[in-house]
Amino acid sequence: MGKKAVIEVRNLVKKYGKFTAVKGISFDVEEGEIFGIVGPNGAGKTSMVECLEGIREFDAGEIRVAGLHPIRDASHLKQKIGIQLQESQLPDRIKTREALELFAALYRKSIPWKAMVKELGLEEKLNSYYDKLSGGQKQRLSIAMALINDPEIVFFDELTTGLDPQARRIIWSLVENVQKMGKTVVLVTHFMEEAERLCDRVAIIDHGELIALDTPARLIRNVHAHYRISFKAEENIPQSLFEGHAFIRKVQQEDHYYEIEVADVVAVANFIRLLADLDIAFVELTIHQPSLEDVFIALTGKELRE
């Protein structure tokens, strides 16, 4: 990579009384990338990011964000970063236009937001009250507010939680646009699909520790996650038919439902050819490609909950 690091974190520790939420995490975020921070609820993601944003004091370690110390240089740093807070709401009776005007007035410099509003699809909603906006519109407004000071680094925390799949996809393309504007994005999420689709690199956090950090593709390759083929057979298949084929890793059966684990794409093709050769009639065949979700399960031994 060799790009410039815009965020440097070394041995970060954050405690709440006796509970240690962040246990000595180190990483760099490079200029212009979308950096994902994923992990289950309560893993310490938000605590860690709020230390970077200067919202929380930390107990040990070193942090530099845009070359600044988040606490000591807080007022300077706030001008250079944009933040969307997890679960933060605006007053019910504030209009979209007023929210944008208000936040534009809070910063030393602000961008002309009319064009941005158009791009975010909020033009029609400028005179709507906040409580009349849909979940997706509220989140698009929070993106607009995070960008209003033309920040170098933007933090998004659980941006798409609670949104329907369509609204989520719209938000994803907007986040990609933020990156195209040349900004560095730190994206906190517990959706693996989101991290895989958007992020250049992903840090997986569990129990306050960094357990993996790499590109999604490399993370998936390195844990040797398998392809899974599942289907329903018209009649029972004798287990012996699957024996003696090296590309089949594992067979699971429940009634007529089968789930087969194979190593790679070639093995998937081989297996389907085998079904045809054996004249096995099947329906509902799906192929599950290994994903970050599998990486996560492999590394932490648990599934992510919504």
Strand order of the β-sheet with 5-16 is 19-30, 5-16, 60-65
Decide if residue 217 touches other proteins (CB under 8 A).
no
Minimum Å distance from CB 14 to other proteins?
16
Interacting residues with other proteins between 96 and 135 (CB under 8 A): 98, 101-103, 105-108, 129
> Are 223 and 232 spatial neighbours (Cβ–Cβ below 8 Å)?
no
Name the CA dihedral angle for 80, 84, 86, 87, rounded to a multiple of 10 degrees.
140
Outline where DSSP puts E strands in 131-208. Answer: 153-157, 184-189, 201-206
For the record, the structure tokens of 13 come out as 């520790």
Is 13 an interacting residue with respect to other proteins (CB under 8 A)? Answer: no
The H or E element containing residue 15 is strand 5-16
Asked if residue 299 binds other proteins (CB under 8 A), the reply is no
Using CB under 8 A as the binding rule, whether residue 273 contacts other proteins is answered as no
Which residue lies nearer to other proteins by CB, 129 or 247?
Answer: 129
Contact letters for other proteins, residues 224-253 (x by CB under 8 A): ------------------------------
Rounded to a whole number of angstroms, the minimum distance from the CB of residue 93 to other proteins is 4
Query: How many angstroms separate the Cα of 15 from the Cα of each of 6, 20, 52, 57, 101?
Result: 25, 4, 15, 10, 37
CA–CA separation, 51 and 133 (whole Å):
31
Give the other-Cβ count within 10 Å of 143's Cβ.
24
Minimum distance of other proteins from residue 46's CB (angstroms): 12
Residue 93 or 302: the one with the smaller Cβ distance to other proteins is 93
At what angle are helices 135-147 and 96-106 packed, to 10 degrees? 20
Confirm or reject binding of residue 219 to other proteins (CB under 8 A). no
The verdict on 93 binding other proteins (CB under 8 A) reads: yes
Residues 52-91: x/- map of binding to other proteins (CB under 8 A)?
-x-x-------------------x--xx---x-x-xxxxx
Determine which residue in the list 1, 60, 94, 217 makes contact with other proteins, applying CB under 8 A: 94
The reply on whether position 45 binds other proteins by CB under 8 A is no
Judged by beta carbon, residue 143 or residue 212, the one nearer other proteins is 143
CB atoms within 10 A of CB 17: 5
Chain contacts with other proteins (rule: CB under 8 A)? 53, 55, 75, 78-79, 83, 85, 87-91, 93-94, 98, 101-103, 105-108, 129
